[in-house]
Amino acid sequence: MCREIVIEVSKSLNNKDKVMLSMSSRDMNDLKKGFRFDEIIDLNIIRNLSYFDNFENVRLTSTYDVVLPQYTKSVHYTFSPPYSLNFVSDIARKKIIQSWIPPIITHLVYDCENTSLMSGDIPLSVSHLTFGDNFNDDIAGRVPSSVTYLKFGKRFNHPIQNSISSSVTHLIFGDYFNQPIEDSIPPYVIYLRFGAHFNQPIKDCIPRSVTHLIFGWKFDQSIDNCVPNTVTHLVFGDSFDQPIENDLPNSVTHLVINNRNIKVSQDELLSIILRRYCLPSSIVDLCIVNYINAVRYHFT
């Protein structure tokens, strides 16, 4: 079989299946060094493999004496310092942080309960930043402009006005976040998700770049002229009980309504939803979650 065809076929396989394919014959085994392994894997597991350089996404358990595969695209690391740095001098702190989070990390989980986040702690190599569940520090000036994916943990509930870099395109808040968001959401965000406790006004707060907008359990604010006509996927939580007639833009194609207070049979559910919410004709996928189950409708 042609080498180029086999390598092209391998792109649709997961790492395990690629290895199994390479074991099917001696010729296939020789092709193994032409495969690219794109699933996340611990660096320690692959360190001594002959095709080590072909792994694209690796996870570190330590940042000491790291050698990366030649074709590495992303480096995942969870930073959880063994002791607090809050009482260390600025110069010493900077050196320690740089040794713990070297500028090779692209995907960082910052899971620190005993160390405050300071400007410069996150290297410019980081594009995906996730904060641990106990993180609840001020972030103003502390998230670098390299970050495009930003996810907060469960307990984060700090003001964010003018705090998040305009580079962020995917923004996810944890369950406890319930702060005003005026002048807070970056202008190029396309995916925006709020957690369970968020219940703040959103008038003039959602940028016209957003395509996926997800509200949590407690959100129950007016959406009159609030949802931009770029949004295609929209989710409302259990507490949402606002009129939405003529308030959903025709851009919305996928809608999820969580309302466990609607206690009717599945046969009655759709007619009640259509009467109550006056949904736009653009919707092709409607999911209704009530006290019984989740029901999905597809329209053509």
Q: pLDDT of 185-216, one tens digit each?
A: 999 999 999 999 999 999 999 999 999 999 99
Give the pLDDT score at 132: 94
Beta bridge pairs of residue 149: 128, 170
Phi/psi for 295 (5° steps) reads -120, 130
pLDDT in tens, 72-106: 999 999 988 777 777 778 788 888 888 889 999 99
Domain boundaries, the chain: 1-35
Give the pLDDT score at 200: 98
Residue among 171, 155, 182, 152 nearest 211 (CA): 171
Q: What does each C-alpha distance from 21 to 8, 16, 77, 155 come to in angstroms?
A: 13, 9, 30, 45
- H/E stretch holding 189 reads none
Beta bridge pairs of residue 258: 289
Across the chain, the runs of DSSP E, i.e. the strands, are 41-42, 57-60, 74-79, 107-110, 128-131, 149-151, 170-172, 191-193, 212-214, 233-236, 254-258, 285-289, 294-298
Residue among 21, 20, 15, 68 nearest 44 (CA): 68
- Quickly list H helices, the chain: 3-10, 15-22, 26-31, 43-46, 90-100, 266-277
Structure tokens at 99: 């040794």
The letter for the amino acid at 63 is: T
Residue among 33, 55, 38 nearest 46 (CA): 55
State yes or no: pLDDT of 1 exceeds 80.
Answer: no
Query: Using CA atoms, how far apart are residues 170 and 65, in angstroms rounded to an integer?
Result: 32
Beta bridge pairs of residue 192: 171, 213
Greater model confidence, 65 or 279:
65
Q: What does each C-alpha distance from 190 to 164, 180, 211 come to in angstroms?
A: 14, 19, 5
SS3 category, 37 = strand
Beta bridge pairs of residue 191: 170, 212
pLDDT in tens, 250-277: 999 999 988 665 544 555 666 666 665 6
pLDDT in tens, 127-158: 999 999 999 999 999 999 999 999 999 999 99
SS3 category, 167 = coil
Q: Are residues 149 and 170 in contact, defined by beta-carbon separation less than 8 angstroms? A: yes
